[in-house]
Amino acid sequence: MGHIWIDVDLSDLAKTKTRRVRGLVDTGASLTTIPKTLATELGIEVTSRSLVQTGAGRIEIERGSARVGVAGEEDLQTVWISEIIDKVLVGCVTLEMLGLKVDPTTGGIESAPLLLYPLPRE
């Protein structure tokens, strides 16, 4: 299948600053990761820090909130803000929350149903 690169619209919460970037879909990542320089440019503030597992081991990383848009879908998302990653990595939770999924036959993304599991009846 190879690498899947997609257009991603990133904005601050008020949408006063927006930028379209190319993002690498990373189905092994939960959240979307953006470079610290891009977060600063867009005014995305750090709200907390998280300990995350990477291929190189566990690291502490900053978290913030941004508006993330892909393929015409947009939502408020938690993003990781990285000082060591220099590109946007689009995680699987981001895609799922936007009603999107990877299509391995085309190497692109496509619509997917949002899932809601009802509670069992008592």
In tens digits, what is the pLDDT along the chain, a chain of 122 residues? 578 999 999 999 999 999 999 999 998 888 999 999 999 999 999 999 999 888 788 989 999 999 999 999 999 999 999 999 899 999 999 999 999 999 988 888 999 887 776 666 76
Domain contains 116: no
β-bridge mates for residue 54, sequence order: 57
Of 1, 36, 37, 43, which Cα lies nearest the Cα of 18?
43
The number of domains in the chain is 1
- pLDDT computed for residue 4 by the predictor: 92
Domain contains 26: yes
Residue 78 CA: distances (Å) to CA of 32, 50, 70, 112, 120: 8, 12, 15, 20, 29
**Structural domain span for residue 78:** 5-107
Of 39, 114, 112, which Cα lies nearest the Cα of 79?
39
Domain contains 117: no
Domain contains 83: yes
CATH number of the domain residue 89 falls in: 2.40.70.10
